[in-house]
Amino acid sequence: MKKVLLIALIVVMAVFAFAGCSPASGNTAAEEDATTPAEEPVAAEDPATEDASEEPAAETADAASEETAADDSWQKIQDKGSFIMGLDDKFPPMGFRDEAGELVGFDIDLARLIAEQMGVEVQLQPIDWTAKEMELDSGNIDVIWNGYTITDERKEKVLMSDPYMKNEQVMLVLADSDITTLEDLAGQKIAVQEGSSAQSMLEKSMPELLETFDELVGFKDYTTALLDVDSGQVAALAVDLVVADYYMAQKEGSYVLLDERLDKEEYGIGFRKGDQSFHDALMAAFEELKANGAAAELSNEWFGRDVTADF
């Protein structure tokens, strides 16, 4: 009997034990997980992404700061007490030699006036005009300043100032010449100064006119070119109006200008690329001289009018 009760008790315990291990309660939890929407994970902010939008502005500011810090061009001029002006010494009335061999001219006097206003001196350095940009880049001169025409091509090579004087390109011929129009230049030899804006203009902006010439003859300076005009070796000279006016005044009645102008242009001052602080200091001094009337007074001495008033 005891054995029977013992066996029954074991069976009952086994049944309860089995019920306790049943997966019923596990399934309920699983079902709750399945029916309850899972929370979507929140993406953590990437610091690199957050900073990325700020990097271009920061880099631009840093680059500008470095460039400003690196530009000590004006400080260098102040330290040595002068700047070197590269010029063509056969380009009257802007820069040339007088009868005593001294360098004179409107641009030279203007440079001296501006240098004095800046508290430094100017050193005059005649150069080969065909190599003017090379002279500037090499450091032999600090500015190109002598009837330096502003062109897009030159702006790519130098830091160009704002214009300070207007000019025109013209054709000069002998007063007794049969040539009266640009069409009359067909089949003729025409003189230009090598490296001048007149040469560049004819070759790049007026190729149709250039093709009608027998030859475009280059000269180192206008003095030599005019000797060939006088002798009839060339029929005309393409030249800056201010230069033509000077020579016509020197040899009154010898030359005339064709009524048709080749081009209008403006003169500027060429600085080395990156020499912004020197440029700013010089142009600020120029503006002061225009404001106090000193620039106008100098201009009237050379031209009988204020050529700087146009700007």
170-224 tens-digit pLDDT: 999 999 999 999 999 999 999 999 999 999 999 999 999 999 999 999 999 999 9
Query: 203 and 292 share a domain?
Result: no
CA distance 26 to 158: 84
Pairwise CA distance, residues 261 & 167, whole Å: 11
Strands 189-193 vs 143-149: parallel, antiparallel or unpaired: unpaired
pLDDT of residue 68: 53
Closest CA to 278 of 138, 78, 69, 140: 78
* Residue 225 shares a structural domain with residue 258: yes
Q: Does 260 lie in the same domain as 283?
A: no
Q: Is the pLDDT of residue 167 over 70?
A: yes
Q: Which of 91, 126, 180, 143 lies closest to 281, judged by CA?
A: 143
Instruction: Tell me the per-residue pLDDT of 248-307, one tens digit each, with 9 for 90 and over.
Output: 999 999 999 999 999 999 999 999 999 999 999 999 999 999 999 999 999 999 998 898
Where residue 295 sits, what CATH number does that domain have? 3.40.190.10
Residues 97 and 109 in one domain: yes
Residue 91 lies in a domain: yes
Which residues span the domain enclosing 114? 69-166+266-310
